[in-house]
């Protein structure tokens, strides 16, 4: 592992209290002094737990989603999710950010370096045709699989280097493309569009 790399976490949670506690505890078991940012998406009140565990906590109104997952119902909710995530970067001191979700568990401390903009992907899943078309128009060739789901790791400096106003323009242009309205697709599309890379990470696994 490169000595300059460290791991913080971002967790947008809702109404699964048991999984919330287990997810947080699994991260803190191996990274007890590292930053976790919790954004509560209109769910149960976790403020006391976060305060007792030294975790920065923010409560927001529920972002309209499908089935309480990070599948959004509008352009506006996509943008709101992205703004919350990107705003959190300045509060996370670590170089890389683990995307926590209710079903993510940290089973050990990472031992291999994070080499990509998005570390962790599913090579069997392709971006929607709209995203592929836009990327090809920009001169991007391949691959078109995507990552950035729960358990994946983002390179903070890469995403921080992107002017968020440019992201707003990009997302506005796809405002009618509802197949794009998922957090992992959005982040992967942004990564490819702005010159980033997505690849498998050996210490990431899905069940």
Q: What is the pLDDT of residue 1?
A: 39
1 lies in a domain? no
How far is the C-alpha of 164 from the C-alpha of 206, rounded, in Å? 30
User: Is 22's pLDDT higher than 90?
Assistant: yes
Reported as a single tens digit per residue, the pLDDT across 113-142 is: 999 999 999 899 999 999 999 999 999 999
How far is the C-alpha of 94 from the C-alpha of 7, rounded, in Å? 5
Instruction: Give residue 3's pLDDT band: very low, low, confident or very high (50, 70, 90).
Output: low
Structural domain harbouring 48: 7-199
How far is the C-alpha of 103 from the C-alpha of 207, rounded, in Å? 10
User: Is 6's pLDDT higher than 90?
Assistant: yes
Q: How many domains does the chain have?
A: 1
205 lies in a domain? no
34 lies in a domain? yes
Beta bridge pairs of residue 147: 121
More confident residue, 73 or 92: 92
Whole-model pTM over 0.75: yes
User: Is 195's pLDDT higher than 70?
Assistant: yes
Helix (H, G, I), strand (E, B) or coil at 18: helix
Q: What is the pLDDT of residue 65?
A: 57
Reported as a single tens digit per residue, the pLDDT across 41-82 is: 777 888 898 999 899 888 766 655 555 556 778 888 899 889
102 lies in a domain? yes
Stretch 26-35: mean pLDDT: 95
145 lies in a domain? yes
164 lies in a domain? yes
206 lies in a domain? no
Residue 65 is part of a domain; what is its CATH number? 3.90.550.10
204 lies in a domain? no
Q: What is the pLDDT of residue 2?
A: 46
How far is the C-alpha of 180 from the C-alpha of 128, rounded, in Å? 7
């Amino acid at each position: 592992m490169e000595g300059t790399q460290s791991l913080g976490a971002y967790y947008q949670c809702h109404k699964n209290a048991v999984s919330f506690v287990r997810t947080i505890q699994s991260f803190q078991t191996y990274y007890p002094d590292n930053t976790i940012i919790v954004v509560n998406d209109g769910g149960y009140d976790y403020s006391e737990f976060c305060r007792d565990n030294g975790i920065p906590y923010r409560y927001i109104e529920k972002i309209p989603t499908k089935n309480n997952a990070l599948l959004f119902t509008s352009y506006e909710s996509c943008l709101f999710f992205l703004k919350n995530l990107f705003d959190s970067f300045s509060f996370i001191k670590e170089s890389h950010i683990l995307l926590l979700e209710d079903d993510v568990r940290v089973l050990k401390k990472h031992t291999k370096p994070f080499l990509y903009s998005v570390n962790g992907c599913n090579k069997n899943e392709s971006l929607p045709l709209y995203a592929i078309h836009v990327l090809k128009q920009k001169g991007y060739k391949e691959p078109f699989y995507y990552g950035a789901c729960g358990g994946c790791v983002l390179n903070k400096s890469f995403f921080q280097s992107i002017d968020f106003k440019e992201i707003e323009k990009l997302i506005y242009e796809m405002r009618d493309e509802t197949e794009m309205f998922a957090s992992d697709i959005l982040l992967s599309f942004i990564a490819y569009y702005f010159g980033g890379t997505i690849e498998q990470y050996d210490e990431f696994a899905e069940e």
